Structure 1
Amino acid sequence: MGKIIAIANQKGGVGKTTTSVNLAASLGVLEKKVLLIDADPQANATSGLGVDVESVEIGSYQLIEHSATAEECIIKTTAPNVDIIPAHIDLVAIEIELVDKDEREYMLKKAISHLKSSYDYILIDCAPSLGLLTLNALTSADSVIIPIQCEYFALEGLGKLLNTVKSVQRIHNQNLDIEGMLLTMYDSRLRLSNQVVEEVQKHFNDMVFETIIQRNVRLSEAPSFGESIINFDVSSKGAANYLSLAKEIIKKND
């Protein structure tokens, strides 16, 4: 049985999409079958795996509103063992369209729960907000990875996200776990980066992944080539970090 993991944080720019794309590619290289669902209207995970966003005719929008089946939405990517359900800018409209639907928080869950037998991991790249899209992702997920940027405002907003996770556990999905908190954009030369790491580890000890994602130029260049860091530069520090994270997750779940 596969595991559904949402990658969520309502703050933008903390490395959600970078993590979704590169964790998917790393798990794929480690011979796990992976499906990445792009649930962010910005569709960066889609373009980050080399899919032309403009050419997407059916994707997460049709999946969530149940006008297409998951199987119809799935596209193979160039990353080994990785499929994607792409997003398109039309996903922006879904929040408004779901508002008066019955069981609107469960639309994604109903559309994908049967896929767990076909994949080892299903990753959901969430939008940088706590709206209905993210709520759908958290309701359908078994666990959530929370990327935290090693910067001054890192812990701000974290409480709000943890409260959202708690209320989802209480109302919609009592089995939702926190897979782990992932420290991203770490620069060992900055005192601030080190302080954030200490602070997060002190507060959340076991909930924090041992792997820390370091700042890496190659990591930020890869998306503009439509490739994961594994395809783009497997010898880079970024690739080593994400492979380490993938191994940590596999070990935890085996």
Structure 2
Amino acid sequence: MNFNPQLCRNESEVESKLIVQYLLPMLGYDASKWHQEVALGSIRLDFLALISPIIPASSNSFPKASPKICVVMEAKHPKQNLNFHVRRLRRYLSSLQVLYGVLTNSKDFRIYELEGDGINLIFQCQGLEIADKMAKIKDIIGRDKLAGLEASQSQSSIDFPIPIPIPIKNITLPSEPISLVTSESITMKTIAIYHNKGGVGKTTTTINLAAAMSRKGLKVLIIDLDSQANTTYAAGLMKFANEDDDMLKDSNVYNVIHYPRSNYIPEIALKGSFTYPEVDVIPAHINLIWQENTLVDQESSKFQLVKKLELVKDQYDVVLIDTPPSLNLYAKIALIACDYLIIPSDLKPFANEGLRNVRNFIQEIDEFRSYTNRNGIKVLGVLPSKILTNANYIKATLPKQEKVITERYGFPVLETRIFQREDLSRAVDNFILEGDIQTPDPKSIFDFKPDSISAAEFEELANEILNKIGTRP
């Protein structure tokens, strides 16, 4: 039985056509011995193949010299460079103490083995070679091979199955299985995207993260609180040719935060044309610059967004708030209203120095939130954004820059990296030419070039963020 990697056009097809339909059956794992979309604490695995339906005991129960005899399998988009994902696989295997990990994009197939806290590449072949190399692959991670290893290793078991979002057929579960889908998982989550340094990719992150989540079936609302209105433009809401046709100046985010008993979110929200399925957008406007003076004198303006979001908590799964690159009132309103924070950064010196301001700003806002019985902001992490694609930079410099973020500034770094690619800028600069009139028609990367590497990167980001906030499509 042969496998043709050309059949896999996206990550979903790598999962279904390579792993589910071909690899797992060839390795001897029936439906009761593998699980998909496995969540273990903060870790979310694409696949986990086991000798039995019961996960072995936690790593605290036995020495690290005896890791769990099972296989983590991670599928990536065919255009993804697997080198970018080795670090994450290493964290998965070392955190869970799992012996083997498979990393593949259908064109490149790799097997890694856990050794201490690191992993070693022990097998690699091209996708076209998988069938010819199957005997070797079976000899490493085949079910019969792992069963022999397990028999020689004394391990205990815990009496609950691996928690999975959707029970796999043919598996008999205990009467009280552990459930990962809690009541919190289906509540609206509000995420601010903020850095006080401009030009670090906040708009690009907001638009494409919203599109990625919408494509997963989630109901998404974007709120633009930046007077530059770049997100409003990128959402396709600024298609008027002159001021006379500007319908946004009298109906935008200012109305939401200024008027306490009118201008509710359903009245102001517009349908963005940048992606499908459509995403609701509360637009910004250039007039926010001078209107801030009015809001500063209105103490209640800091809370209006919180109150009005509460009224639509059953209408949206995720709210993304784009913020100004400053410490002004609009940034305060965003951080008062959010549950979580993403900090995009190009990791350059000024962006890094600005993280001190961000940290102090969060502390100030958290103190303010405590007076209103709101929990502190949960920082999801610094998102490496607009990163250079130079191979030497990625290998030698980028890891050092990411390490500095944690050690010097105290922020976690997200595992996903968004690289600076031409497709992202072309997507937002897209236009329609009608005669001699050029009309802006910006698109998300998923609608402009869905099979691009950038689309795959934002798909990875959406998965990571949804996993961290506990929201499942």
Range class of TM-score, shorter chain: over 0.9
Identity %: 35
Which has the larger Rg? Answer: 2
Instruction: Tell me by how many angstroms 1:204 deviates.
Output: 6.7
RMSD of Structure 2 on Structure 1 (CA): 1.9
- Whether 2:240 is the aligned partner of 1:47: answer no
2:211 pairs with 1:16: no
Q: Which runs of 5+ in 2 are unaligned?
A: 1-186, 240-245, 431-441
**Residue in 2 that maps onto 1:72:** 267
Alpha carbons of structure 1 residues 242 and 197: separation in structure 2 relative to 1, 3 Å: same
SS at structure 1 position matched to 2:313? helix
Structure 1 counterpart SS, 2:291: helix
Aligned residue for 2:287, secondary structure, equals helix
How far, CA to CA, are the matches of 2:225 and 2:299 in structure 1? 20
Return the structure number with greater helix share.
1
| Equivalent residue for 2:453, pick from 222, 237, 245 | 237
Partner of 2:379: 178
Deviation at 1:81, TM superposition (A): 4.2
1:186 maps to a residue whose letter is: I
Q: Structure 1 residue 96: deviation in Å?
A: 0.6
**Post-superposition offset of 1:183:** 0.8
Amino acid at match of 2:376: N
Task: Quote the Cα distance in structure 1 between the aligned partners of 2:328 and 2:206.
Answer: 19
2:183 corresponds to which residue? none
Q: Which residue number in structure 2 is paired with residue 252 of structure 1?
A: 468
Which whole-Å deviations, capped at 9, do the CAs of 1:39-72 have from their partners, x for residues lacking one? 1111111110111263324111111112511111
Which amino acid in structure 1 is aligned with residue 460 of structure 2?
Answer: S
Partner residue, 2:313: 116
Cα distance per residue 1:173-202 (max 9 Å; x no partner): 433211221111112423554432232255
Tell me how far 1:153 sits from its aligned partner: 2.5
Contact kept, 8 Å, 2:405 with 2:412, in 1: the verdict is: no
Q: How many angstroms does 1:203 deviate by?
A: 4.8
Letter in 2 for 1:143: Y
- Residue type matched to 1:75 in 2? L
* Distance in 2 between residues matched to 1:70 and 1:47, nearest whole Å: 19
Mapped partners of 2:327, 2:310: distance in 1: 22
Aligned twin of 1:62: 255
- Stretches of structure 1 lacking an aligned partner (at least 5 in a row): none
Please give the TM-score of this superposition, normalised by the length of structure 1.
Answer: 0.93
Task: Pick from 369, 382, 400 the counterpart of residue 195 of structure 1.
Answer: 400
Q: For 1:112 and 1:68, locate their aligned partners in 2 and report how far apart those are by CA, in whole Å.
A: 12
Residue 428 (structure 2) pairs with residue 227 (structure 1): no
Contact in 2 for aligned 1:187/1:193 (Cα 8 Å): no
SS in 2 for 1:123: strand
Letter in 1 for 2:425: S
Aligned residue pairs: how many? Answer: 254
Moved more, 237-246 or 74-83: 74-83
Please give the alpha-carbon distance, in whole angstroms, between the structure 1 residues aligned to 2:411 and 2:460. 17
Q: Deviations over 1:108-128 (max 9, x none)?
A: 222322222211100000011
- Which residue identity does 1:27 align to in structure 2? M
Between the two structures, name the one with larger relative contact order (CA 8 Å, sep ≥ 6). 1
User: Is the 8 Å Cα contact of residues 186 and 214 (structure 1) preserved in structure 2?
Assistant: yes
Listed one character per residue, the Cα deviations across residues 229-253 of structure 1 (whole Å, up to 9, x for unaligned) are: 1111112222111111101111222
Q: For residues 124-139 of structure 1, what are the structure 2 equivalents within 5 Å?
A: 124-139=321-336
- Counterpart code for 2:228: Q
Supply the distance in 2 between the matched residues of 1:159 and 1:201 (Cα, whole angstroms). 12
Q: 1:183 is paired with a residue of what secondary structure?
A: strand
Alpha-carbon distance in 2 for matches of 1:138, 1:201: 21
1:155 shift after superposition: 1.2
> Are the equivalent residues in 1 in contact too, given 2:222–2:322 (CA < 8 A)?
yes
Residues 118-147 of structure 1, C-alpha deviations (whole Å, 9 max, x = no match): 111000000111100010010011111111
User: Aligned match of 1:154 in 351, 370, 373?
Assistant: 351
TM-score (ref. length: structure 2): 0.51
Shift in Å at residue 158 of structure 1? 0.3
8 Å Cα contact 1:150/1:192 also seen in 2: no
Corresponding residue for residue 284 of structure 2 = 87
2:356 and 2:409 in contact (8 A); partners too: no
SS at match of 1:116: coil
